[in-house]
Amino acid sequence: MILSIAAFLMSASHASAAAEPNLDSLPELFAAACLDGQARLSAGQVAAVSFDELPPDLRKRLGRPASGQVWQLRAPGRAYLYILNYEPREGVNPKICGLASDGMDLDDAADALEARIAGKVLPNRLRSTEWLRPQDGYVAIATSAADFNVLQINWLSEDQRAAALDYLQTVSQ
């Protein structure tokens, strides 16, 4: 799925206006890009930028990826979609896909993500929340980083996935 995300943006100039997502609904764009790998954006909606062009606080939160792609969305405020790859090592997710925006409401975005992942929105959720989905191979995150609200998928390595599945099996017994 992650590999097809890069393709949807590289072919952005070929997307029809009818297929373009509404950039006012960033949680939907995040789900289409990071969960479904089905989002299509036109050149008028997105501009490729380097990782080093991200705002410093956001860049610091994302650490030091080995490679990746970052796009600035032409949405209200500052908004970035990113796919980053990290060197394999223990405790590090090998790939992440996320959307960070200073114009996105975190509560609404987390509600949309939780409804998509869990099928419903539970009351009294913490401001920063993680949903572990080892059966699907990821951890979904809704959090903030400085001025940005962030939705992110951290893809699990095979070792991380196996350990999480073992853990969940143990606690459910």
pLDDT at 4: 42
55, 78 contact by CB (below 8 A)? yes
* Percentage of the residues of the chain whose pLDDT score is greater than 90: 60
34 phi-psi bin (left φ>0, alpha ψ -120 to 50, beta other): alpha
State which amino acid sits at residue 50. Answer: S
pTM of the model: 0.84
Token reading at 45: 């909606």
pLDDT at 7: 42
pLDDT at 6: 46
pLDDT at 128: 86
How many helices and strands (H and E) does the chain possess?
A: 5, 7
pLDDT at 48: 94
pLDDT at 22: 60
pLDDT at 95: 96
According to DSSP H, which parts of the chain are helical? 2-10, 26-30, 56-62, 106-118, 158-171
49, 83 contact by CB (below 8 A)? no
The label of the residue with tokens 């853990």 reads: 167
pLDDT at 21: 53
Residues with Cβ < 8 Å from 98, sequence gap 6 or more? Answer: 30, 34, 81, 82, 141, 150, 151, 152, 153
Nearest to 101 by CA among 20, 44, 14, 28: 28
Helix (H) or strand (E) holding 151: strand 148-155
Report, as ranges of residue numbers, the positions in the chain whose pLDDT lies below 50.
1-8, 10-20
pLDDT at 1: 41
State which amino acid sits at residue 26. Answer: L
pLDDT at 15: 40
Question: Domain residue spans in the chain?
Answer: 2-171
SS3 content of the chain, % helix, strand, coil (to 5): 35, 25, 35
